Structure 1
Amino acid sequence: MTSRTQVPVATQTDRRRWIALAIVMAAAFMDLVDVTIVNIAIPAIQEDIGATVSQIQWIVAGYALAFAVGLITGGRLGDIYGRKRLFLAGIAGFTIASALCGIAQSPELLVTARILQGAMAALMVPQVLAIIHATFPPHEKGKVFGLWGAIVGLGGISGPLIGALLTHWNLFGLEWRPIFLINLPVGILALILGAKYIEESRSPQALRLDLVGVIVGTVGLLMLLYPLTRGEETGWPTWGFVTMFASIPVFGALIAYERAKSRRDGSPLIELSLFRVKGFSAGVAVQLAFGVVTGVFFLVWTLYMQVGLGWSVLRAGLSGIPFSVATTIAAGISVQLLIPKLGRKVLQMGALLMGTGMALYGWTANHFGQEVTFWQMVPALLVIGFGMGLIVSPLINAILAEVPLAHAGSASGLIHTMLQVGQALGLALTSVFFFGVLSETSSGGRSPFVDAFENTAYWLAGILAVIAVLMTALPAAAAPPQVDGPPQGLPTETEPAEVKIPVPAGR
């Protein structure tokens, strides 16, 4: 028999904690890359397995939808059954799904494997922030989230570049398939090392899975996200707007049920009490708005370079290097050096810097037109990347700072879900900012993509200015120190991680 004893996470050796961090960071990077890596190989996939346009759209959208709708459930499952256990299950499933993608001989199998891959990522990804939150003490989280921000910066831009290189090299004559098969060694290694070095943690409360909440929440997210994700491709049909509008009462019913569920047995899918914590509620609102910006920018930027300017996939991918470098540097210094002195002003500076970079990029596109060179883009990309680096790390730190460890998985799932919803809204807004301008006549006989990109860049600059104002709702310190007691409005709980210690029979 066994009894559960609470052992502080701080008892882990420094070496084990940092190895565990490297493992979960590798998994997070793998997911970030897989969101965009497939876009580069679409022509090769279409030619090789004869996929229709609709099937190609599902190869892309299936992953995103399965990922987005499963995040909240995946995070809560980690709180209930153990974050390490769910992380390893997600890694294993993600690796198997990647193998199925790589060997797929038909569009139907590839679509199914991509949906499975997204669902497994939804189990895996929420555990990353939850494991970090449970593993590292508050005084080390600045350094850790600085590394997290660097991974986000690198992962967000690496997908197209890695996809371009793997497709161009045609390794072993496999053409597009290595973009999925590359996940196999990474996943297997993460599975083996994760089982050894990651410490288990879960909620000390006796939580149960809220199946009604899972069903209602999944239906609501699908009703909202499916029309947003497919809207531009399907011409924004009436049923899409009706479905999105109908999701509102579904979410209202979910909130009412979760409140009743919390009062009844304390095991809701969504821990609504988290929204009484100022840093969390304000932070997820900022995360939603920030998701809009990134959702618009990365899509429009790719179309501008590859279609509007006629750049090759590889050239367009390489152009993201200044952005990634700037994001990595800024993320590394923001939480450790700037936040202790300036608090939330660092995030506001980041939003204003990103907005300035967007405006500069818009001016660059207008001034140089289709003759613009990579080097002429570099100043704007450096400013945008540096601004983003000042946001991603401190924002996550601020959101999680007062979240009790019992609800770390639920909080992580909500954080990622808000980002996904924001990015879906961003994709919808491209119809106004970008695609709407493409139908207009451009001045000077240049490509309409130039005017569309310029218009989008200026709009994003304005949205980022609004985000800077929204950030005033964050706590002034941006990452308030954790205390022994719980945040105001949340139940008391034990925060250490949980391990099982064998007890001799009969005792």
Structure 2
Amino acid sequence: MTSTPLPSEQTDEAGAPDRRRWFALAIVMTAAFMDLVDVTIVNIAIPSIQEHLGATFSSIQWITAGYALAFAAGLITGGRLGDIYGRKRLFLVGIGGFTLASALCGFAANPEMLVASRILQGAMAALMVPQVLSIVHATFPAHERGKVFGLFGAIVGLGAVSGPMLGALLTEWNLFGLEWRPIFLINLPVGIAGLILGSRFISESKAPKALRLDLIGVLLVTLGLLMLIYPLTRGEELDWPLWGHLSMAGSLAVFALFVVFERYKTRKDGSPLVELSLFKVKSFAAGIAVQLTFGVSLGIFFLVWTLYMQIGLGWSALRAGTTGIPFSIAVSLAAGLSVQKLVPRFGRKVLQTGALTMAAGLLLYIWEADRYGTAIQSWQMALPLVVMGLGMGLIVAPLTDAVLSEVPREHSGSASGLINTMTQMGNALGLGLVSVVFFGVIDDKLAPEAVGVAFVDAFQNALWWATAVLVVIFCLMFALPARPRVGMEGADEPAADAPVVKEPVLTP
């Protein structure tokens, strides 16, 4: 019986590695970019959505937090489903559902429908996104993954800030009189193309041994995440009720029960939702902690930054979007350099330098916001944004590589789901904290002429919090390996823990 070779081992007729696997990479990276853009593109259109749908600030917060909440709650399950039923299959289901949800967002008739559609969109992204890293992990040999994760880091940087730029253009152009709706409808042609090309060019892979979905584990982890994030998101709006505090405290007990059950499930049939053995890998455990806190920092910054520019300073969507271009360029450049040139030579010091550089950029931004007030100009923001972008670029690409480098391939879907869950959980926590560190210091009854100054002050307060989180990240990074591993021993050889590849890559 002839076994199908792993995609990374396939060769063309001349005996050279099959370059067509890079087409598969382009497809999954495009899907990842679409998701990243969709997270940030909404922020820039908030004033337009508020005006044309009559959305309240509470609805606006849920349009962003609802997506993050559904995304975080479903990522671990999405990653494990890929391990069980096939990463290609789940990727296609996810991108198809994401495209449908985008259409529903684009045609939403009221704030409630938009919030519900965003929650569905987040749930579908939870099926799609974990497969991206696990497909990369299963397709490319260890010596190529550094280059691939460098590209991934660049995509993260582009998606983080090109989203606001694209959202600004689409909102300002008011295509066909649709106002803000094209920010969602633009996903339709991209999603359809990804669905068609992905079905042809992505190879199927799954865990080598038969696994079953841990339904009780799914219930417990989803319940724990909802109990923690929901009251945090609505706390300020509801004046921090007692049930909210009890829910957040109770989430810790639910997570503890989840760990106990996962240990039992591992002993019983070897099919837990989360492979707890992954946390015995020092690089993975430390990286997960960094991902969580890094997500908190980004969740705080990107939303308050948009509110500060558009509502506090009164800038148009286009002006706010173009202001972020230096950040996007800096992230992309630093991400590529960090993996290819810097990390192999300096190890984790590169990531720690990135954390300190981001913190320096935030401090510079705080100083400028205080000095120039509401008279600050876009060009004056360029320097802190470039400094922040360089710092972020030094973190995003090598961090992903460090977390996954020692993970067995059979658990790559579960590990990928955990990585994304921690990032999105941090992001959701950060969005929830916005109600405390930003809206919490703004008077509910402001005179129109006082709005600008109040938002500037709140922006500075939020950035102090984000800076403190980055200091915590710097300290956590001491637990990462001092030097990167070139690759797991035997990673490039088909082994018992290699994914089962059901068909050759790029089979028509």
Deviates more, 1:133-142 or 1:3-12: 3-12
Deviation, 1:451, is 2.7
Aligned-partner SS, 1:232: coil
Residue pair 1:29, 1:151 contacting (<8 A) in 2 also: yes
- The yes-or-no answer on 1:83 pairing with 2:87 is yes
Aligned to 1:489: none
Deviation, 1:49, is 5.1
Deviation, 1:5, is 5.5
- The yes-or-no answer on 1:465 pairing with 2:464 is no
Aligned to 2:74: 70
Q: Per the alignment, do residues 181 and 434 of structure 1 end up closer, same or farther by CA in structure 2, a change over 3 Å counting?
A: closer
Q: Which amino acid aligns with 1:499?
A: V
Deviation, 1:172, is 2.0
- The yes-or-no answer on 1:177 pairing with 2:216 is no
CA distance, structure 1, for counterparts of residue 471 and residue 43 of structure 2: 30
- The yes-or-no answer on 1:10 pairing with 2:37 is no
Aligned-partner SS, 2:501: strand
Q: Per the alignment, do residues 334 and 223 of structure 1 end up closer, same or farther by CA in structure 2, a change over 3 Å counting?
A: same
CA distance, structure 1, for counterparts of residue 60 and residue 347 of structure 2: 45
Aligned-partner SS, 2:236: helix
Residue pair 2:58, 2:237 contacting (<8 A) in 1 also: no
Aligned to 1:454: 460
Residue pair 2:233, 2:433 contacting (<8 A) in 1 also: no
RMSD: 2.6
Deviates more, 1:310-319 or 1:3-12: 3-12
Aligned to 1:484: 490
The TM-score, its normalising length taken from structure 2, stands at: 0.91
Aligned to 2:14: none
Residue pair 2:105, 2:118 contacting (<8 A) in 1 also: yes
Aligned to 2:236: 232
Q: Per the alignment, do residues 346 and 170 of structure 1 end up closer, same or farther by CA in structure 2, a change over 3 Å counting?
A: same
Q: Per the alignment, do residues 332 and 14 of structure 1 end up closer, same or farther by CA in structure 2, a change over 3 Å counting?
A: farther
Q: Which amino acid aligns with 2:370?
A: N
Aligned to 1:351: 355
Q: Which amino acid aligns with 1:462?
A: A
Q: Per the alignment, do residues 429 and 176 of structure 1 end up closer, same or farther by CA in structure 2, a change over 3 Å counting?
A: closer
Deviations 1:118-160 (A, max 9, x none): 1111000000111111111111111111111111111112222
Q: 2:109 aligns with which of 94, 98, 105?
A: 105
- The yes-or-no answer on 1:299 pairing with 2:298 is no
CA distance, structure 2, for counterparts of residue 299 and residue 104 of structure 1: 22
CA distance, structure 2, for counterparts of residue 170 and residue 3 of structure 1: 57
Q: Which amino acid aligns with 1:498?
A: V
Aligned-partner SS, 1:233: coil
Residue pair 1:397, 1:479 contacting (<8 A) in 2 also: no
Deviation, 1:494, is 2.3
Aligned to 2:500: 498
Q: Per the alignment, do residues 81 and 142 of structure 1 end up closer, same or farther by CA in structure 2, a change over 3 Å counting?
A: same
Aligned to 2:317: 313
CA distance, structure 2, for counterparts of residue 386 and residue 212 of structure 1: 42
CA distance, structure 1, for counterparts of residue 6 and residue 357 of structure 2: 43
Q: Per the alignment, do residues 154 and 55 of structure 1 end up closer, same or farther by CA in structure 2, a change over 3 Å counting?
A: same
Q: Which amino acid aligns with 2:474?
A: A
CA distance, structure 1, for counterparts of residue 422 and residue 289 of structure 2: 8
Aligned to 2:263: 259
Q: Per the alignment, do residues 58 and 401 of structure 1 end up closer, same or farther by CA in structure 2, a change over 3 Å counting?
A: same
- The yes-or-no answer on 1:121 pairing with 2:125 is yes
Unaligned runs of 5+ in 1: 487-491, 503-507
Aligned-partner SS, 2:500: strand
CA distance, structure 2, for counterparts of residue 29 and residue 299 of structure 1: 19
Q: Which amino acid aligns with 1:410?
A: S
Aligned to 1:31: 35
CA distance, structure 1, for counterparts of residue 414 and residue 405 of structure 2: 14
How high is the sequence identity, in percent, across the aligned residues?
A: 66
- The yes-or-no answer on 1:200 pairing with 2:204 is yes
Q: Per the alignment, do residues 287 and 52 of structure 1 end up closer, same or farther by CA in structure 2, a change over 3 Å counting?
A: closer
CA distance, structure 2, for counterparts of residue 102 and residue 234 of structure 1: 29
CA distance, structure 2, for counterparts of residue 170 and residue 280 of structure 1: 45
CA distance, structure 2, for counterparts of residue 208 and residue 429 of structure 1: 36
Q: 2:160 aligns with which of 156, 159, 162?
A: 156
State how 1:314-393 maps to structure 2 within 5 Å.
314-393=318-397
CA distance, structure 2, for counterparts of residue 7 and residue 466 of structure 1: 40
Aligned-partner SS, 1:218: helix
CA distance, structure 1, for counterparts of residue 411 and residue 182 of structure 2: 37
Deviations 1:88-108 (A, max 9, x none): 110111111212222333444
CA distance, structure 2, for counterparts of residue 220 and residue 78 of structure 1: 22
Unaligned runs of 5+ in 2: 12-16
Aligned to 1:94: 98
CA distance, structure 2, for counterparts of residue 152 and residue 390 of structure 1: 12
CA distance, structure 1, for counterparts of residue 452 and residue 318 of structure 2: 23
Q: Per the alignment, do residues 420 and 366 of structure 1 end up closer, same or farther by CA in structure 2, a change over 3 Å counting?
A: same
CA distance, structure 1, for counterparts of residue 312 and residue 46 of structure 2: 18
Q: Which amino acid aligns with 1:424?
A: A
CA distance, structure 2, for counterparts of residue 296 and residue 53 of structure 1: 16
CA distance, structure 1, for counterparts of residue 216 and residue 357 of structure 2: 43
Q: 2:143 aligns with which of 139, 142, 159?
A: 139
Aligned-partner SS, 2:180: coil
Deviates more, 1:96-105 or 1:363-372: 96-105
Aligned-partner SS, 2:19: helix
Aligned to 2:480: 474
Deviation, 1:206, is 1.2
Q: Which amino acid aligns with 1:304?
A: Y
Q: Per the alignment, do residues 263 and 194 of structure 1 end up closer, same or farther by CA in structure 2, a change over 3 Å counting?
A: same
Deviation, 1:215, is 1.2
The TM-score, its normalising length taken from structure 1, stands at: 0.91
Residue pair 1:8, 1:496 contacting (<8 A) in 2 also: no
Deviation, 1:378, is 1.0
Deviates more, 1:386-395 or 1:306-315: 306-315
Deviations 1:247-274 (A, max 9, x none): 1111111110000000111100011000
Q: Per the alignment, do residues 357 and 50 of structure 1 end up closer, same or farther by CA in structure 2, a change over 3 Å counting?
A: closer
Count matched residues.
Answer: 494
CA distance, structure 2, for counterparts of residue 255 and residue 445 of structure 1: 47
Deviates more, 1:37-46 or 1:335-344: 37-46
CA distance, structure 1, for counterparts of residue 453 and residue 503 of structure 2: 68
Residue pair 2:224, 2:254 contacting (<8 A) in 1 also: yes
